[in-house]
Homo-oligomer: A and B are copies of this chain.
Amino acid sequence: MKDFDTFKELQKTQKAYQYVLTLASWDSNTEAPKASFPFRSEMLGIISGEHFSLLTDKEYVETVNDLYENGEDLNNRQTREIEKAKKNLDKIVKIPKRDYIEYSKLLNNAQKAWEESKEDSDYEAFKPYLEKIIAMKKKMVSFRQKENQHAYDVLLDDFEEGMTMEKYDAFFNTVKEELVPFVKDILKKKSDEAPAFVKKSYPVDKQKEFVEYLLDVFDFKKDRGVLKESVHPFTWNTHSKDVRFTTSYHENYVFSSVFAAIHELGHATYEQQVDDVFDMTNLKSGASMGIHESQSRFYENMIGRSKPFWNTHLSKFKSMFPSQMKTIEVDDFYQAINRVDETFIRIEADELTYPLHILIRYEIERMIFNDEVTVEELPSIWNKKVKEYLNLDVKKDSDGLLQDVHWSNGMFGYFPTYALGSAYAAQIYYTLIEDIEFEKLVEENRIDKINKWLRNKIHCYGSSLKPREIMEKVTGEPFNPKYYIRYLKEKYSDLYLK
């Protein structure tokens, strides 16, 4: 039988390659000069090739498979490490190399085609690519599908371990039944226009100063992290002592800068608080896409968009933007940052309508992998659902099914984790407020104490626990969407229906 130490040794070398590639991608996304990319990709291509060889190296494959089959002597953590390694391995080695290369090439070309077709709002130009991507995706999945396993279930599990259509159906049916009518009621009450101060000009250097202030408010550990700027905000890490994130600043939309920063701070805090015993393992990062998103949404919505938070920090914000904020009080501000409105674009959606955007995507992906829709029919299906759930008439596909990058990257099964994250966050929230004086701590600027709770309950485990295990351990029951519905109804009834 192969030795677990052999596995660790081989994995360590793989990690070193992964490390420099991750470092290079941080550089690519935040500061590498434009003209450097051709040389860069040639150099990184060589390192990626070496990395790939290590990942598919015969000794490594045998070691993982052997430990997976005969791992009776492993402890729990070791078993979990092997389980994750095996899953990653199968994603690579079960695919014939020829298909792997063909698929990579297809995605490269599709990316550019999608950008152009979105630019021109020309679905016809993207359609042949999407058709091929879906066909290839189904083929790729078939190599990994277990008997009686549905293709879409393979993909759902890729992004959120343990999730299936059955479970997501239960979730999204609740969203559909409970939330869709509630949103309609709220939308009847909303004001036509956002208040004037929202769209005023806020100098970017002052915004940066305020985001720096937020780093301290959220107790971000600067000796173990970096904040930078990029076009799209993201969080990046190699281990708990090097966690970096970016935000982007918009002079005429200060809320976007502020809440993107708080959102990423949620991701970053999660990564900073993973126990460092996992640094050298494949368990060193957050548990799943959904659990990760729950932490960023918790930061962004439960803390960042709460009244207690701004009771404490609005004075700082006003001191930095005195002319823009002159007459604005906490109640005005709280209303404005929680304003509900229909929008075509998912990433511009508010907290309440956001899950409906995900519902649309989930239902369509489900149809695609159940062969219930042709690529030809996708825009009309999309637009019908937008009408049904958001009461909007899609005028151009760039505001419709061409808006997201995911499908052009072959990422099917990813979207549902966004809504799931918010729903996890609500369930965790109701446990947390039983345990600690949440509002008081937020208002007293003691987010470090909230971080401590999150660390002990969730963060410290890295991905040594599965999402399901985390939810049960923290909240005492499996994932249950009722908390999400309750949270949204309580919050938005209070804001709009009183």
Contact = CB atoms under 8 A, between A and B. Distances in A.
A294 to B, nearest CB: 25
Contact of A46 (B12, B221, B222, B228): B12
A226 B46 contact: no
B39 A241 contact: yes
Given A15-B43, A20-B24, A20-B44, A33 B226 contact: yes
A412 to B, nearest CB: 32
Copies of this chain present in the complex amount to 2
B47 A241 contact: no
Per DSSP, are chain A's interface residues mostly helix, strand or loop, or mixed? helix
Contact of A242 (B17, B26, B32, B223): B32
Contacts of A45: 16
Contacts of A50: 50
Contacts of A238: 36, 39, 43
A27 interface: yes
A17 B223 contact: no
Contact of A47 (B17, B31, B34, B39): B17
A421 to B, nearest CB: 26
A19 interface: yes
Interface string A3-46: 00000000011011101110110110001111110111001111
A39 B226 contact: no
Given A23-B24, A33-B241, A242-B32, A16 B47 contact: yes
The 4 closest A-B pairs by CB, nearest first: A36-B242, A16-B46, A20-B20, A35-B241
Interface of A: 12-13, 15-17, 19-21, 23-24, 26-27, 31-36, 38-40, 43-47, 50, 205, 221-226, 228, 238-239, 241-242, 244, 279
